[in-house]
A = this chain, B = another copy of it.
Amino acid sequence: MTRFAQTLPDPIIAAKAVPPLPPTGPRSLAVGVIGPGRVGSCLLQQLEAARPRLWHEAGLDLQLPAVVGRQRMWLDCDDPELNHRQDAAQTWRPADLEEFASYLQSRRADAALLVDCSASELVVARYPSWLKAGMHIVTPNKLAVSGPLPRWLEIRRACDSGARLRYEATVGAGLPVIQTLRSLLDTGDQLRSVQGMFSGTLAWLCNRHDGTRPFSVLLREARDLGYTEPDPRDDLSGIDVARKLVILAREAGHPLSLEDVRIESLVPAELAALSCEAFLERLEALDAPMDLALTRARAGGGVLRHVASFDPQEGARVSLQVLPASHPFAHTRLTDNIVQFTTARYGENPLVVQGPGAGPEVTAAGVFGDLLQIAHALPAHA
């Protein structure tokens, strides 16, 4: 322990001495969580833990009165004595999204906010009516923002009500990706290109694929470690990465759709239609093409990376690319995501954000951050 550490006050006292949030008068926000899965449950825990602090430091009364899953839902009017304790026995009723949203909006709160942690088209279909009714939405769900353009535009138009939709966690989980791009654009910068590695799984595979072991062995190991989807083709196809690219391009004002992205799938054509079991038995078919790609990359002194890139002239592309060894993407840590924005102001050297881009905790934190942005913009009471 250094002298410094000994004289450092208790962190809680310190935090009070330097108040972290601007007090802006009391406000209340009723939050309903749709989809209490891994991310949704983690978010509920984070919100529960933060409630006293948000009240004391920011005057924010964060209410958590409603949770809805696929089959059933819980409204705290059913359990008035439970007072938000998610760990206690709860009374559930059949899930009904309309009833759920109505209940949330009927609460005595300054605003109602729906968190969509589902991966459900049925939920997305309701965004326009919820937003028109003035309810805010925060989601890590890529379906709305990367889905059909007419629906996305309808959703954006529904925000004319003043309701806000935020979706930071759709790209890079809790990393500040969308808000960074948003801030660049809002302050008058122009996006020239965006380049990223948006799949921790594919980043890990490319990092580990050094020629000592066949790609199929690495893929099996990644699947055993839980890094891949149950069917690894969901990662290898590149579609999830392409959705994230669509989200960023649209954020910059370009009406890109998933069909516009040139995706080079890592799944050989003859394996694409197999059952998952049959595919897993034939992973060795991936080895020859991946070895060839690696050999070619090395012949040019480069490294092989799975990269998503967009620029307004060249369009959007998701593919294996050979990068020079000096490229920042050549030095990422294992499963890290990385994104770099090249803009008018960040022209010579781009702006880079890097870090873990998946996992329930950091994804929930990304959702939580969006929620706070909306909460902080709520008008305070007199």
Main SS at interface, chain A: mixed
Docked pose: A352 CA to B180 CA in angstroms: 13
Docked pose: A165 CA to B18 CA in angstroms: 13
CB of B315 within 8 A of CB of A20, answer no
Nearest-neighbor residue (CB-CB) of A379 within chain B = B379
Nearest-neighbor residue (CB-CB) of A23 within chain B = B160
Within 8 A of B (CB), among A14-53: 14-15, 17-25, 46, 49-50, 53
CB of B176 within 8 A of CB of A176, answer yes
Which of these, B5, B17, B345, contacts A315 with CB under 8 Å? Answer: B5
Docked pose: A3 CA to B316 CA in angstroms: 11
Q: How far is the CB of A26 from the nearest CB of chain B, in Å?
A: 12
Nearest-neighbor residue (CB-CB) of A183 within chain B = B369
Q: Which residues of B contact A76 (CB under 8 A)?
A: none
Q: Residue A212 at the B interface, CB < 8 A? A: no
Q: Which residues of B contact A99 (CB under 8 A)?
A: none
Nearest-neighbor residue (CB-CB) of A330 within chain B = B331
Q: Which residues of B contact A71 (CB under 8 A)?
A: none
Q: Residue A356 at the B interface, CB < 8 A? A: yes
- Residue from A175, A187, A353, A369 with most neighbouring chain B CB atoms (10 Å): A187
Docked pose: A119 CA to B313 CA in angstroms: 42
Q: Which residues of B contact A361 (CB under 8 A)?
A: 345
Which one, A237-245, A270-278, A332-340, is touching chain B? A332-340
Q: Residue A72 at the B interface, CB < 8 A? A: no
Q: Residue A232 at the B interface, CB < 8 A? A: no
Q: Which residues of B contact A379 (CB under 8 A)?
A: 379
Which of these, B22, B255, B334, contacts A9 with CB under 8 Å? Answer: B255
Which of these, B331, B352, B380, contacts A355 with CB under 8 Å? Answer: B352
Q: Which residues of B contact A365 (CB under 8 A)?
A: 184, 187-189, 345
Q: Residue A162 at the B interface, CB < 8 A? A: yes
Q: Residue A346 at the B interface, CB < 8 A? A: yes
CB of B253 within 8 A of CB of A49, answer no
Docked pose: A322 CA to B152 CA in angstroms: 50
Q: How far is the CB of A90 from the nearest CB of chain B, in Å?
A: 23
CB of B14 within 8 A of CB of A253, answer yes
CB of B189 within 8 A of CB of A183, answer no
Q: How far is the CB of A303 from the nearest CB of chain B, in Å?
A: 12
Known: A46-B188, A186-B372. 12 other contacts (CB 8 A): A2-B315, A4-B315, A5-B313, A5-B314, A8-B254, A9-B255, A18-B253, A20-B251, A22-B164, A50-B187, A326-B331, A346-B362
